[in-house]
Structure 1
């Protein structure tokens, strides 16, 4: 599946939100050690390494609702329960 195909899907764990965009991502700045936890597998991600960035919107108004960082497309599918 192309990453753009996930746009508009709702994460099962976060009803009321929809995926606005999915992109491969990594932080360029090396000033700080930035980490995030994958909401699917609970792996602590070093944001300087490649991962997926998911931007979310509220389903009713498409207002920005936050970002989630996931390990890869396998975690993305599991998190969305799209498998």
Structure 2
């Protein structure tokens, strides 16, 4: 399973990759708990970001987990 270190305190830990998505737990973040990336994703396509409060939003894929999620996870950390 893949792991991506986003900051010194936030990391993504892959929990599943069997269906059409790769699912990652977000460890160390206050308000975001999960992100998903489609297997066939292209640069510019949206990935899903799931918030603990029950909402979901998209963020554009930038070619790697670190490039894609560092801005979102850093800016939204409380």
TM-score, L = length of structure 1: 0.37
Q: Which has the larger radius of gyration?
A: 1
Choose between structure 1 and 2 for higher RCO, CA contacts under 8 A separated by at least 6 residues: 1
TM-score, L = length of structure 2: 0.39
